[in-house]
């Protein structure tokens, strides 16, 4: 057997190597069970959650408008996210969140590069049967909605296909 000339240096190197190997091997070890993200507990489908994600539906719309007239021209883009949540069988809540952006405007009273985030509308709808319906609406109507006539015209309150 070969004799080690400096056993103290060898032992220090061996201990350092073993400590490094153990630290590297066990620092990446995780258990086999998956740990859920605690932030998602509010949005899970279990009984203890605040929101049941299976009852939420989301729709999106994007509109781009360009207006040109004698006083100037303007361009406005609007994105609307519609969130529908069925609270119970006869009760539902619809929230439309909007974002508008004006990248260009040569009209004096309008600002260029103007961005707004707002609640476009909110609806609480209670319909226990086909002969009774109660609806509470909030609408954020901007002056630009009056350009093409009645701002309530495209909100058909008797339409059941919403």
Domain boundaries, the chain: 50-142
In this predicted model, which residue has the larger pLDDT, 75 or 134?
134
pTM for the full predicted model: 0.57
pLDDT of residue 13: 83
pLDDT of residue 112: 65
Q: Residue 82 above 90 pLDDT? A: yes
Mean pLDDT of the chain: 76
User: Under a CB-based contact definition with an 8 Å cutoff, are residues 150 and 156 in contact?
Assistant: no
Q: Label residue 152 by pLDDT band (50, 70, 90).
A: low
Q: Label residue 27 by pLDDT band (50, 70, 90).
A: low
Q: Label residue 59 by pLDDT band (50, 70, 90).
A: very high
């Amino acid at each position: 057997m070969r004799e080690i000339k400096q056993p103290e240096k060898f032992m220090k190197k061996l201990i350092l190597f073993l400590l490094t190997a153990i630290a590297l091997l066990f620092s990446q070890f995780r258990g086999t069970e998956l740990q859920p993200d605690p932030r998602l507990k509010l949005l899970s489908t279990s009984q203890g959650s605040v929101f049941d994600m299976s009852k939420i539906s989301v729709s999106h719309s994007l509109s781009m408008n360009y207006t040109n007239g004698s006083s100037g021209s303007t361009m406005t883009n609007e994105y609307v996210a519609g969130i529908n949540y069925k609270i119970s069988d006869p009760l539902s809540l619809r929230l439309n969140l909007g974002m508008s952006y004006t990248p260009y405007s040569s009209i004096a009273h309008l600002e260029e590069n103007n961005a707004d985030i707002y609640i476009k509308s909110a609806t609480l709808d209670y319909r226990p049967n086909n002969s009774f319906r109660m609806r509470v609406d909030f609408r954020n109507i901007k002056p630009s909605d009056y350009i093409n006539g009645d701002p309530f015209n495209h909100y058909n309150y008797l339409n059941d296909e919403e």
